[in-house]
Amino acid sequence: MKSAVIVFPGSNRETDVADAIERASGHRPIMVWHRDSELPDVDLIVLPGGFSYGDYLRTGAIAARAPIMQEVVRRADRGTAVLGICNGFQILCESGLLPGILLRNASLKFVCRYVGLKVETSQSLFTHRYQAGEVLSVPVAHGDGNYFADPATLDRLESEGRVAFRYCSMQGDLTPEANPNGSARNIAGIFNPTKNVLGLMPHPENATDELLGSISGKALFDGLVDSLA
Amino acid sequence: MKAKVHVTLKTGVLDPQGKAIGHALASLGFQGVNDVRQGKYIELEIAETDRAKAEAAVRQMCERLLANTVIENYAIELVG
């Protein structure tokens, strides 16, 4: 599996996700700087976590207009797998590849902890190594993760099976207490209509080694290798 | 000329920052503030001298970057 990680000024999880991909695939991703307008031929493009451009204007807003993003959108439209984690999810929403937007956490507090995450579907190249309904333990670390879209968009996401993950208790209940940021319908991650683009707020790359406290995220990267190698 | 752009949250979009400001005002003793909504104000110095063209250009800027129309409205005022 050949992959590229796009690096913006202010990205800070690019090495974590590169390590997770290398452990799963045996190949180090190519790091691509945001000013580049050419991408090598890859099977997977990753937009990593961080605070691109200091979250100026809106989170992800400036990064979504960086030169490289035109090429990312073009590749996504042609079917290349694109994974946006945390700030990467915010950038995907701002670029129009995913609907909705991530608002300031309802608590107004930065949340940094493990959350319960329910796998909503195993029917994707990202989640096929999981069972639908499985509960994962994955860390979040964000101040703007409050997923918002109008009710019609939320209904469409649900009816088309495009909700990938929801925040839940470790027993799998979708309670308000299990929702760390106020996201609509506990949504933590969503797909585009063709399900080759996934954006999620939690950090599966930081749950790929027992040393880190959880290996819940490992199956996502192993699954991508199965799908794309 | 100068373009003044106000970006405001649409009705119904939760504004936790506005709420926090409201609470702080109440704790300072300001009574009767029923609601607070926080927005953004952006000033642009633009070279275009034709008002219609300037407004069309700023409208494009709002649609493509300055506002996210999923959650925000914008208003443009041209001065000079």
Please state the domain count of chain A.
1
CATH number of the CATH domain containing A114: 3.40.50.880
**Is A203 among the residues known to form the active site?**
yes
Region of A53 on the Ramachandran plot (φ > 0 left; ψ -120 to 50 alpha; else beta): left
CATH number of the CATH domain containing B50: 3.30.1280.10
pLDDT band of residue B14 (cuts 50, 70, 90) is confident
Domain hosting A146: range is 3-228
Quote ipTM for the complex: 0.86
As a whole-number percent, the residues of chain B with pLDDT over 90 amount to 92
The structure's pTM equals: 0.94
Taking chain A (229 residues) in runs of 10, the rounded mean pLDDT of each run is 97 97 97 90 97 95 94 97 98 98 95 98 98 98 97 98 98 97 98 98 97 95 95
A61, A105, A106 member nearest B65 (Cβ): A61
In contact, A103 and A146? CB cutoff 8 Å: yes
- Chain B environment of A99 (Cβ under 8 Å): 70
Please state the domain count of chain B.
1
Model pLDDT for residues A24-80, shown as the tens digit of each residue: 999 999 999 998 888 999 999 999 999 999 999 999 999 999 999 999 999 999 999
The distance of Cα B35 from the centroid of its chain, to the nearest Å, equals 17
**Is A93 among the residues known to form the active site?**
no
Element spanning A198, H or E: strand A197-200
Give the residue-averaged pLDDT of B45-74: 96
Binary contact (A103, B71; C-beta < 8 A): yes
Nearest to A90 by CA among A42, A45, A142: A142
Distance, CA of B49 to CA of B56 (rounded, Å): 12
Looking at the DSSP bridge assignments, the partners of residue B7 are: B40, B74
Annotated catalytic residue within A14, A34, A86, A168? A86
Domain hosting B30: range is 2-79
Binary contact (B20, A108; C-beta < 8 A): yes
